[in-house]
Chain A
Amino acid sequence: MTESAIKIEGLHFSYGKRHVLKGVDLEVPKGSIFGFLGRNGAGKTTTIKTLLGLQKPHAGRCLVGGLDSVTETLEVRRRIGFMAEDQQMYGWMTVDRIIKWVAGFYPNWDDKFVDELAEVLVLPKDAKVKALSKGQNSSLALLLALGHRPDIVILDDPTLGLDPIARKDFLRHVIELLQSNGVTVFFSSHLLYEIEPVADHIAILNDGVIIKACRTEQLRESVRKFALTPAPGANFSQVPGILDVLTVGDNVSIALEDCDQAKRAALKEMSANGMTETALNLDEIFEAYVIGNRGRKLSAH
C-alpha cells in the first residue's frame, strides 16, 4: 500500500445553509501528480482551503503529510507550496521584494533554488508585480510556491485566465520542475485537457462528493463508449454502470464505466445489429460522469 501525502476523511463544509462538501473522502499518494477535477462551484477551492487550514471543516478531517490541517496549521503550511487560482499579489512590490517578503515566512527558503527558478521562468526581478503579464504573474506565483522546496504542491486552477500558449508554457514548467523531484502535486482544475497529460491520478468532485478517484490510465481503460441501434424492448437500465446515454435518430451512444465482458455482452443483446466500442479521452469521461444523464430516461427505449 502506497503512503498518502494527503488524506481527506468524511469532509463536510457549509457556507451558511449551502452544504458545499458532503463527505469528501480522498487519498493522494506520495509523489503523484493528482488531478482534482470538478465543475466551477463543485467544492474544489473549498476542499483546498480546508486542506490549508484556512477554514475549519464542520465534520471530517484533512491530513497533510500525516499532520492535521486544523491543529497543526502552521506546520502543514510550511510543508505545502500553494498557488491559488488567479492569484493576486502586492502589485506595488517588485519581484525581488515580494520574493524576499515571502521568504520571511519560511525558515527553509532556498535562495539559490529560487534564483535558478527565476531564470528558468524568465522573471524580471526588478519589475513591479503589477507590470507583469498574466503568464509572468503565474510563473511568479509558482516560484513563490516552490521557493521553500515543499513536499506537497497544491495548485488551484493555476492556469485560470491564461491564453493557450501561456497555459502550455506553465504546464511544461510544472512538469519539468516537479515531476522529476518526487514532489506530490495536487492539481485542481476544471480543464481536463490540461490535467490529462500530467496527472497520474484523477479524482472527480461533483456536488460536494467524490464520484470517481483512481489512476488516470485505469480511468481511461474502464470507461468506454458504445454506439448501437437498440433492439425492440431493449432496457438499458438493467446494465449497471451506464454514465450517459445519447440518442441520435435510431442510434444510441452509451458511456459505460467499469466496462467488462459481462456488460459488453448485455449491451450486445440489446443491439439490433451489432455495436461499435471506442475509448474516451479524459474530457469525455469527465463529461460523462458530471453532466451525463447516468441512465435516466433509459426505459424509454
Chain B
Amino acid sequence: MRTAAIIHQQICQLRWHLLACLGLIMLLPIEEAAVNMHAGAGFHSIGMAVAAIMFSPLLAGLIACANVQGDLSEKRYIFWRSKPASVKKLMALKFFVGLVLALAVTACPIVFAVVSSALCGKDLDDPPLKYYVPIPIIVAVMTYSLCFGCNVLVRNTARSWLIGMLLAGFVLVFPFMLPLGFKDIVSDVGLRAWGFYPATILVISVAAFVFALYAAQHDWHLKTNLRGLLWAGTGLVFLMLILFSSQVANIRVLDEKEVEIESGWRPFSLDKVEGKPIFQGRSYVNSNESNISLDRFIDKSHPGITRRLRRRTGNRYLRIYPEAGGLYKKAGDDLYVLIIHSYHRREKKNNIYEKLYLRNYKLTSGSWKQANELDLSDCLTGETNYLRVAMRLIDNTLVVCVKNSFVVVDVTDPAEPKQIDKKLDVLSGIKSLRYEDRQREFSIPLVPVEQISAEERIKLSIDLRYRFSYLDNDIYESSIVDVHDGKFAFFPVSEQDVARFDVLRWDEEKVYCRFASARPFTILEGMTGTSYSGYSTLVEDGRLYCHGSNTLLVFDVRSSSRIRKLGHFVRMDCHIDDMSILDDSNILLSARWTVSSKGGRSRERKKFVYLLKNPE
C-alpha cells in the first residue's frame, strides 16, 4: 500500500471541508483583527482567536465525518474494500490524516494570534492562552474520534456528527455525577492538571478509534431511524442538561427566609459580631443545619443606623462607611457599632470632602444611640475631591485608613474609643494587578501600623492594595489573604480569572510576592456571574468565596498549583448583596429581587436571606 497516495487522496477529499472549517474558525479572529486595525492597534487578534478555539471540537467532528463519508457509501465501500489493502491500516491512516488536518485547523487561530500579535508588538498572553488552548484540543481529539467511529458505523454524515457530539457531551458531563471527586470543569479537566479526567477523554478517544477499525473491518453497519435518533438525542440532551446544571449549580440551599422590606434601596449587609451574624444592623441571624431565623433587636419603628441620619443638609452631604453595614463590637452585654461619617459639599461636579468622623453607636432600648466620636478630618490630605476609607478591627484595635493616612484606635471600651496612633501620608494607594505582575516578582509596601501583628499587617497591606470594588470601601472584616502553615497567599479576582499570588518573604518595609497560578472563568460562569471583579470576595479557611450579582462561586485555594472550584450557586432572578461564612461553615447570603413596574422603572419587591450548604 503506497501511503503517500492515500494521504494525498485524503487531503484532496477533505479540501473543501477544511476550507469551510478554516473559514468558520478564522471568522472571529479576522474580524477582531480588522476592528483592531481600524482602531489603529494593528491587524492582530488575541481574544477572538482564543474564543474561536472553543469551536474546534465541533469542527473536528465535522472533519471526522467528512473524512470517511466519501468511502462509506454502499457501492464505493465495495470499490476500495475489494482492493488488497488491510482495512485496519487504511482506516488508521485515514483517521490520523484527518486528525492532523483537524488539529491544523484548530492551530490556525493560535498561529494567527501568535504571529499577528508578535508583528503588532502586542502581549499575547493576555488572556493567557495556556488556560484556554489545552482543553478544547483534548476535547477536539475526542469529538473527532467519536464522530469518526460513529460515521464508520452509521455511514451518514449528519447523524454521525449528531451522535458523536451527544456522546462527547455525555462523556464530558457524566464523570461529574460519579463519585470520582470531579468538581471543577476547568481545573479538574485542563490547565496543568493531567489527571484522571483528561486521561478518560483520551481513553474514550482511543476506544472510539479502535472501535472504528473493528467496525470497518467487520463491515458493521448500524441502520439508524431518524425519529428514534431524535428521541434518543433529546433524551440524552435532557439528561446532560440535568447533569450539567447539577455540576454548575451544586450548592444546596438549606433554607431561605423572606425579609420584610422596610427601608427601600439599601445594600442588605451581613456583618458579624463574635461569630454571630447581624443582618442589616437590625437582627441577629440564628441558624442551624436546616433553617434560619431572624432575631430582631432594633424596633420596627426605628429606621436603622444608616437610615436615621440625614444625608443632606443644605449643600452638605453625608457619606457613611462602611456603606453596607458597620463594624460591631461587644462590651459585656452592650453592642456597639463603629462607623465613619464623611461630609462633603458639591462644587461643580466634584465632591469636596471637608470633615470625617469615627462615630460609635450603642444599642439602647431597641435603637442606636450615638455614644462618642473622633474627629479624623486632618486625615483628609491631598486632593480634596477623592476619598477612600478602609477599616479593620483586630481584637481591640481598630485601624482606620483614610486616603494615604491611618489612625489606630483602641476600642477596648467601645464606648470610649481612644486614638493611639496616627500617621499622615504614609500609605500607598490602590493598584491594579497587571499582566506584567504575573511575570516577575514584585513588592507591596507594608503598612507601618506597629500596634498589630506582622500577619495582620501583611493582610491589611495586601487588602489595601488589591482589594477594592465599586463601593471603594469594602475592607473591613474579611480579607483576600489566606494564611496556612505560616505561608501567605492572596487571590485577586479579575473579569477573566481568579489568580493566586504567593508571598515569598517580607521585611520591615515591603512584602515580596509572585504569581503562582490562575483559574479562568468558564463561559457559563462569566455569563451567570456578570462580573465578579466588582463584587465581594473573601478567603476563609482555605476557601475563596466570590459573588457576582446573582452567582456565588466557592473555590478551594489551598493547593499552590491550582485553584479548584468546589461549588456554584446561581439565582438568575436576584441580586446578591452580601455574604457571610458561619462558624459551622455554612454560607449566608442576602439578596433582593427586583422587578420592573408597569412604567418600566425598576423597583424592589422582595429580599431574602439564604442559608447555603458549603460544598464538600
Contact = CB atoms under 8 A, between A and B. Distances in A.
Interface in B349-385: none
A88 B75 contact: yes
B82 A82 contact: yes
Interface stretch (B4-12, B452-460, B490-498): B4-12
Interface centre among A77, A87, A105 (most CB of B within 10 A): A105
B228 interface: no
Contacts of B586: none
Contacts of A104: 1-2, 4-6
Interface stretch (B83-91, B95-103, B114-122): B83-91
B82 A75 contact: no
B2 to A, nearest CB: 3
Interface in A36-58: 49, 52, 54-55
Contacts of B1: 104-105
A105 B75 contact: no
A74 interface: yes
B9 A101 contact: yes
Contact of A78 (B2, B5, B76, B84): B84
Contacts of A239: none
Nearest to B78: A84
Nearest to B9: A101
B145 to A, nearest CB: 24
A55 B78 CA distance: 11
Contacts of B531: none
Contact of B81 (A54, A75, A101, A106): A54
Given A88-B75, A90-B9, A93-B12, A103 B2 contact: yes
B83 A105 contact: yes
A82 to B, nearest CB: 4
Contacts of A77: 82-84
Contacts of B82: 52, 54, 77, 80, 82, 84
Given A84-B75, A90-B76, 14 more contacts: A49-B78, A75-B84, A77-B83, A82-B82, A84-B82, A88-B79, A89-B76, A90-B13, A92-B12, A101-B6, A103-B5, A104-B4, A105-B83, A106-B84
A198 B73 CA distance: 32
Nearest to B82: A82
Contact of A89 (B4, B5, B79, B86): B79
B70 interface: yes
A114 to B, nearest CB: 15
B123 interface: no
A86 interface: yes
A102 B219 CA distance: 21
A100 interface: yes
A80 B82 CA distance: 9
B5 A86 contact: no
B6 A90 contact: no
Interface in A82-131: 82, 84, 86-90, 92-93, 97, 100-106
Contact of A55 (B4, B12, B79, B219): B219
Nearest first, the 4 A-B pairs at minimum CB distance are A104-B2, A104-B5, A77-B84, A88-B75
Interface residues of A, number: 26
Interface residues of B, number: 22
Contact of A87 (B8, B79, B84): B79
Nearest to A98: B9
A85 to B, nearest CB: 8
B152 to A, nearest CB: 16
Nearest to A52: B82
A196 to B, nearest CB: 27
B19 to A, nearest CB: 14
A170 to B, nearest CB: 18
Interface string A257-271: 000000000000000
Contacts of A88: 73, 75-76, 79
B75 A87 contact: yes
A233 to B, nearest CB: 56
Interface of A: 49, 52, 54-55, 74-75, 77-78, 80, 82, 84, 86-90, 92-93, 97, 100-106
21 contacts: A54-B81, A54-B82, A54-B219, A77-B82, A77-B84, A84-B79, A88-B73, A88-B75, A88-B76, A90-B13, A90-B76, A92-B12, A92-B13, A93-B9, A101-B5, A101-B8, A101-B9, A103-B2, A104-B2, A105-B83, A105-B84
B5 A100 contact: yes
A88 B83 CA distance: 14
Contact of A74 (B2, B76, B79, B84): B84
Nearest to B83: A105
Contacts of A97: 9, 12
Interface in B38-54: none
A105 B85 contact: yes
Nearest to A73: B84
Nearest to B86: A74
Contacts of A103: 2, 5
Contacts of B8: 101
Contacts of B81: 54
B77 to A, nearest CB: 9
B83 to A, nearest CB: 4
B561 to A, nearest CB: 50
A74 B87 CA distance: 10
A295 to B, nearest CB: 39
Contacts of A86: 75
Contacts of B13: 90, 92
A175 to B, nearest CB: 23
A92 B8 CA distance: 13
B78 A102 contact: no
A90 B75 CA distance: 11
B5 to A, nearest CB: 4
Interface string B1-39: 110111011001100000000000000000000000000
Contacts of B78: 49, 54, 84, 87
A10 B78 CA distance: 24
B70 A90 contact: yes
B216 to A, nearest CB: 12
Nearest to A54: B81
A103 B1 CA distance: 9
Contacts of B83: 77, 102, 105-106
Interface centre among B70, B81, B84 (most CB of A within 10 A): B84
B155 to A, nearest CB: 14
Nearest to A86: B75
Nearest to A102: B83
A194 B77 CA distance: 27
Nearest to A56: B218
B27 to A, nearest CB: 26
Contacts of B85: 74, 105
Nearest to A75: B84
Contacts of A78: 84
A87 B79 CA distance: 7
Nearest to B74: A88
B481 to A, nearest CB: 64
B88 to A, nearest CB: 12
A108 to B, nearest CB: 10
Nearest to B75: A88
Contacts of B86: 74
A106 B12 CA distance: 21
A77 B83 CA distance: 6
A102 B90 CA distance: 13
Contacts of B84: 74-75, 77-78, 105-106
